Homo-oligomer: A and B are copies of this chain.
Amino acid sequence: MQSDNNVLEKLSAVSKLAAFNQWLGLEVVSAEPGAVELHLPWRSDFGQYSGFLHAGIIGALIDTACGFAAGTQTERLLASQYAVRCLRPAVAETFVVRGWVVKPGRQQIFAAAEIYALGDEQRKLFAVGDAILVPVAA
């Protein structure tokens, strides 16, 4: 994915406004119109009861990657629904989260996202998901 520096800077700035994204330590590593890639280095804070990545964090990553992918093309958005499919227990030093717009729109933007481990050439998926984002007036 070839990254667009203007889009990347804009998203990184938006991410800094979101307190929860800051706590996560989520890094926007590349962005182009309609697609983003985020990295999340593991911290023990993120665990569920047996130490895997908490499904709540998985959902937060899916939601954020979908929202950021839509955010490359639309200024202000709210997530109206999202769904998360946890394919296998997730453990990695750094998680890669890819989000992309499936269908842009004036009323609704459909996006999807997937999560795998950084450095895994086969991209074995831990989780996939999708979201509907709704543009809101400024």
Q: Which secondary structure characterizes the binding site on chain A?
A: mixed
Could you tell me which residues of chain A, from 98 to 138, have a CB within 8 Å of some CB in chain B? Answer: 102-103, 107-108, 110, 112, 125, 128, 130, 132, 134
Assess A45 versus B20: contact at CB under 8 Å? Given A81-B81, A81-B86, A102-B125. yes
Number of interface residues of A (CB under 8 A): 48
Determine the distance from Cα of A50 to Cα of B80 in the docked complex, in whole angstroms: 15
Residue A57 is within 8 A (CB to CB) of chain B in the complex: yes
The reply to whether B17 and A49 contact each other, CB–CB distance below 8 Å, is yes
Candidates B18, B23, B79, B83; contact of A81 at CB < 8 Å:
B83
A34 at the interface (CB under 8 A from B): no
